[in-house]
A and B are shown apart, each in its own frame.
Chain A
Amino acid sequence: MFTQSLDFKTTDLDTFPFPFTSGNYRYSNDLKRLSNINCIEVTPEYKLQVETKRRLLQEQPHIRFQSFPHTMEMQWEVLEMLIDMAADRYPEHFEVSKDGDKWTFKNHIFGETNSFVYGDASTLPYEPLDYIGRHFHNDFVLMVHRDSNFYLEVGQVSYAALFSANWNKGMSFDEIHAPVPFVSRKGDELAERVRKFLLSIEPGKPWTRINWNLMADRWDVNYETMDVWGPQRSEITPENAGKLVRLRVEEQKFYRMPRSNAILFVLNTQFLPLEDLALRKEWFDLTYSVLQDIPGPMAEYKGIAPFLPQSVEYLRSIDENKKAKKNNK
């Protein structure tokens, strides 16, 4: 059975999508144009993350992948886009040959070759998005556009922060975000504004934002295992927070699919233990400042309320040690 204890962190800090740009954090429409539109990324942790993801999909298929039967054609469109991006960016790792609708996809990192007929799902071991998603470390969610809203119709979710493909299946953008205390700096409701913004996204011009959370010694926190991680959160102390608490970031990318008109939501999830923040002084200072200033409802919603004070206390002691050393010099 999959153990949730976390056995990986980002080691190449240049690839870590650090979330904070100022010393306090509030919800906002923080979408920005994505500069490198290719979402495929191979980091030093690629193999570990993909293997973990495959194991979760194998052990918990109903939790980790959900789709409606009418989404096949849209899923093929996603498969095509991801394969083309992978082969384009990393020709040494991924290769595709297309002979009419007879395609062969090679993943050299795993030494795998699959041949299939494009458009014929019976020639693949899984549904098209579930199949191609098992070659990349990201989560993939397809939001289908209907009457000015988006509906979650396909989801492969292996890193959840209160995200369940099973529970959220079929829900609209607004329903999905109903639990979020979505209040901006000005105090207005954000969900409607963000949904309208998503409606304006055009093919070939993806957008991006970074979401963040803290995790107490877990790979993910989902509704399905709330009985387990709920009580565990209080085991965090200022002494162990540096190792056990990770800053968890989701780099989110939003693509308008040209044929289906759906929005493909791609997530790159990375972790950094609090103790590694010291490797970049600016990251340490911003995180320390942000965590001291989290509004109560946000901490409750994110599920970090039971260990946030211990985490801040840990950062404070590191900060004081640093200052003391400086003064002694």
Chain B
Amino acid sequence: MPVECLSINGMEDKEEIKRVILSQKMGTQFYIAAAWNNAVMIFSLGVEAGLSEAEIQTVIIGPKRRYVYCMKCFEVSEVKEEAEIAECDHCRASLEIGPFYSIVREGYIGYPFIPIGKEEVGS
């Protein structure tokens, strides 16, 4: 079986990764075995290159980490896999974790909200 090897340094190799994905035969199955962040990156590029989610199998190596991108201070925080809300590690804003992921920001969108009971008096 022929083997092609491509070394990936990060998003700067985006085009190359997509080229390799696009040059495969129709119906090829993709297997990603990688640490969480890398897997998310390759997965998103696969979808961008036109693969359906059913054509990609993923095995996460190591802890399943998720990151949320805080729309208040534009920093990422690590969050639990199943978390729906989180507190930003950097500015302490309460965030609702949305379903959208940014390859550039390397995290899921975190919509800021004010938790019940924490509204400022008088506002």
Q: Which A residues fall within an 8 A CB radius of B?
A: 62, 146-147, 149, 164, 166-167, 169-172, 174-175, 178-179, 223-227, 230-231
Contacts and interface: CB of A to CB of B under 8 A. Distances in A.
A31 B69 CA distance: 33
Interface size class of B (residues with CB under 8 A): 20 to 34
A170 B104 contact: yes
User: Which of B15, B18, B48: most chain A CB closer than 10 A?
Assistant: B48
12 contacts: A62-B74, A167-B71, A167-B102, A171-B102, A171-B104, A175-B48, A223-B111, A224-B72, A224-B112, A227-B94, A227-B113, A227-B114
A227 B102 contact: no
B90 interface: no
B103 A227 contact: no
A230 B113 contact: yes
B109 interface: yes
Interface of B: 15, 18, 22, 48, 69, 71-72, 74, 93-94, 100, 102-105, 109, 111-114, 119
B71 A223 contact: yes
B113 A167 contact: no
Contact of B109 (A147, A167, A170): A167
A224 B93 CA distance: 11
Contact of A167 (B69, B93, B112, B119): B69
Given A226-B112, A227-B112, 17 more contacts: A62-B74, A146-B15, A147-B18, A164-B71, A166-B71, A170-B102, A171-B102, A172-B48, A174-B48, A175-B102, A179-B100, A223-B111, A224-B112, A226-B71, A226-B111, A226-B113, A227-B113
Nearest to B50: A148
Contacts of A225: 112
Given A149-B48, A166-B74, A167-B69, A178 B100 contact: yes
